[in-house]
Amino acid sequence: MSDELDQAAALEELERTIVLANRKHPEMVFTGACYYCEEAVSTGCFCSAECREDHERVERAKQHRRVA
């Protein structure tokens, strides 16, 4: 019986390791500067909604270029 429990524990450990290795990591960290125009910000990653939208547009365009 302990063999079955050991196998189950090993399988659970393996699944946990795989899930942690494949999880999505945060892509943007607070740097104190806007990711688009590099203006100083006290909170967040962008100084305005416009900069965020422009940055998203640029990143989307980069992804489309990789596909083609």
Number of domains present in the structure of the chain: 1
CB 44 within 8 A of CB 30: yes
Per-residue model confidence as pLDDT tens for the chain (68 residues): 579 999 999 999 999 999 988 988 778 889 999 999 999 999 999 999 999 999 999 999 988 886 65
62: Cβ–Cβ under 8 A, 6 or more apart, which residues? none
Strand partners, 33: 40
The whole domain housing 34 covers 2-67
**pTM of the complete model:** 0.56
Distances (CA, A) of 9 to 1, 3, 4, 23, 65: 13, 10, 9, 21, 44
